[in-house]
Amino acid sequence: MKLQTSAAGLRGQLKVPGDKSISHRSIMFGALAHGVTRVHDILRGEDVLSTMGVFRELGVKIEDNGAEVVIHGVGFKGLQAPKNKLDMGNSGTSIRLISGVLAGQPFMAEMFGDDSLSKRPMDRVTVPLRQMGVTISGQTDRDLPPLKITGSEVPLKPITYTLPVASAQVKSALIFAALQADGESVITEKEITRNHTEDMIAQFGGKISVNGKEIRVKGGQTFTATEVVVPGDISSAAFFLVAGLIVPNSELILKNVGINETRTGIIDVIQAMGGDLTISDVNHVAKSATLTVKTSKLQPTDIFGDIIPRLIDELPVIALLATQANGTTIIRDAEELKVKETDRIQVVADMLNAMGADITPTADGMIIKGQSQLTGAVINTQGDHRIGMTAAIASLLVDDEEVILERSEAIRTSYPSFFDDLADLLV
């Protein structure tokens, strides 16, 4: 498709779609709870639809009446052996978290995904799950999908485990397994990562204790159905936060954005760069707020250390932001970007360099020179939604040249209405 270029400004208000991480987990906990869970403002992106499809295959009734998604929970003991292979699509969150769910189920299941997912390492979950008594195997020494899993007939062994990577997906997979273990598990994070799984255990009436990076969770708990209202996804809002800051003559008001503190690294970065961002209407219960951004002069910054997991999915569009700062921005400690839907260090650098940026990829990040005039190019998402949306925002700064985006349908993974929302905000 041909992307919009030469934007005269972005103005107006937007309610970004529901948080992807919370949407996945609302289906999982809804299925594992007893009773009927209603979910409002769920993200209907393809990744979340994959999770819904898998739980339907596991015998859970899930209805979408347009206004809300209704999940008829069956409890941990009510899941049924699937008749078909479980299709995880493009979703790392689905395959890793559901591995933890299936770990304690007394049946065999096979999980597979698309070409991108089939290249992503699953050994980070298979290694600790095996220690808990699960039979699970994948392809090559990294346990790439497809994965075959046979859960344990008897309660799993609890685990004491320090994560070698900063990953909410691995942490969450182990929490789901630990909930089906005979005793207390102790999981220690490398860095603090998004805590939606922990929050949701409490929301569904369960118990979990969190002390900094150390998490303790007991097996054998039962969950009670509840009502979930999903806040907007800050990872989706990120594209419009950056657009509002770098496109001249812009002012954007983003409503109902999730501001869980484990996700707000991008706000810290924008503030460090001197961006004009205000936070209002803070709802402490829903952990959401209104974020307003205006066109700004930006300074460079260094992004590294424990902020990285708090903005990991935003780094592609943060790299674009840095191309417009008045100096050099350095991103470090972000080697995890290499094992996302694409190698996001290489692919982001290649894409933005093809558009006239000056980015040097490094082993664990990027060195980004600022004040680049962006130019026309042909870009391929390579199946990565965040690459596609970053390209679409970058092209707003291109004058009198074309930007063509190939495989743009990848954006439906996390933000099906992205192009409609963008069109509505153009001056």
Ligand X SMILES: C=C(OP(=O)(O)O)C(=O)O
Ligand Y SMILES: O=C(O)C1=C[C@@H](OP(=O)(O)O)[C@@H](O)[C@H](O)C1
Would you tell me which residues interact with ligand X (CB under 6 A)?
47, 91-93, 313, 340-341, 386, 414
By the 8 A CB rule, do 59 and 18 touch?
A: no
Q: CA 390, CA 138: separation in Å to the nearest integer?
A: 32
- Specify the residue, 3 or 49, whose C-beta has the smaller distance to ligand Y: 49
- Specify the residue, 93 or 372, whose C-beta has the smaller distance to ligand Y: 93
Residue 386 binds: one of ligand Y, ligand X, none (C-beta under 5 to 8 A by kind):
ligand X
To ligand X, the closest distance from the beta carbon of 390 in angstroms equals 11
Residue 344 binds: one of ligand X, ligand Y, none (C-beta under 5 to 8 A by kind):
none
- Specify the residue, 174 or 425, whose C-beta has the smaller distance to ligand Y: 174
- Specify the residue, 38 or 96, whose C-beta has the smaller distance to ligand Y: 96
Residue 167 binds: one of ligand Y, ligand X, none (C-beta under 5 to 8 A by kind):
ligand Y
Return the percent helix, strand and coil in the chain, to nearest 5: 35, 30, 40
Can you tell me which of 5, 7, 21, 136 binds ligand Y, judged by CB under 6 A? 21
Q: Between β-strands 328-331 and 302-303, what pairing exists: parallel, antiparallel or unpaired?
A: parallel
Q: Which of residues 327-366 bind ligand Y (CB under 6 A)?
A: 336
To ligand X, the closest distance from the beta carbon of 24 in angstroms equals 8
Residue 80, token pair as written in the block? 């049924």
Whether 313 is a known active-site residue: answer yes
Can you tell me which of 169, 236, 296, 323 binds ligand Y, judged by CB under 6 A? 169
By the 8 A CB rule, do 354 and 377 touch?
A: yes
Which range touches ligand Y (CB under 6 A), out of 165-173, 215-223, 241-249, 252-260? 165-173
CA-based Rg of the chain, rounded to a whole angstrom? 21
- Specify the residue, 93 or 260, whose C-beta has the smaller distance to ligand Y: 93
| Other residues' Cβ atoms within 10 Å of the Cβ of residue 412 | 18
Can you tell me which of 189, 313, 350, 421 binds ligand Y, judged by CB under 6 A? 313
- Specify the residue, 93 or 301, whose C-beta has the smaller distance to ligand X: 93
386 is in an annotated binding site: yes
DSSP secondary structure of 363-393: TTEEEEES-PPP--EEEE-TT-HHHHHHHHH
The verdict on 312 binding ligand Y (CB under 6 A) reads: yes
Q: Which of residues 192-231 bind ligand Y (CB under 6 A)?
A: 194
45 three-class SS: coil
20 is in an annotated binding site: yes
Residue with tokens 């929301």: 203
313 is in an annotated binding site: yes
Residue 117, token pair as written in the block? 């997912």
- Specify the residue, 47 or 421, whose C-beta has the smaller distance to ligand X: 47
Residue from 313, 350, 384, 421 carrying the catalytic annotation: 313
To ligand Y, the closest distance from the beta carbon of 356 in angstroms equals 28
The verdict on 167 binding ligand Y (CB under 6 A) reads: yes
To ligand X, the closest distance from the beta carbon of 152 in angstroms equals 25
Which range touches ligand Y (CB under 6 A), out of 71-79, 147-155, 167-175, 396-404? 167-175
At 183, phi and psi to the nearest 5?
130, -165
120 is in an annotated binding site: yes
Q: How many binding residues for ligand Y (CB under 6 A)?
A: 11
Can you tell me which of 172, 290, 342, 381 binds ligand Y, judged by CB under 6 A? 172
194 is in an annotated binding site: no
The verdict on 168 binding ligand Y (CB under 6 A) reads: yes
Let me know the angle formed at the C-alpha of 410 by 242 and 119, rounded to the nearest 5 degrees. Answer: 110
| Other residues' Cβ atoms within 10 Å of the Cβ of residue 154 | 9
Q: CA 334, CA 329: separation in Å to the nearest integer?
A: 14
Kind plus residue range of the DSSP H or E element containing 34: strand 33-40
Which range touches ligand Y (CB under 6 A), out of 100-108, 138-146, 168-176, 295-303? 168-176
25 is in an annotated binding site: yes
**Residues in contact with ligand Y by the rule CB under 6 A:** 21, 92-93, 167-169, 172, 194, 312-313, 336
Show which residues are catalytic: 313
Residues tagged in the binding site annotation for 3-phosphoshikimate: 20-21, 25, 167, 169, 313, 340
Residues tagged in the binding site annotation: 20-21, 25, 92, 120, 167, 169, 313, 340, 344, 386
Residues tagged in the binding site annotation for phosphoenolpyruvate: 20, 92, 120, 169, 344, 386
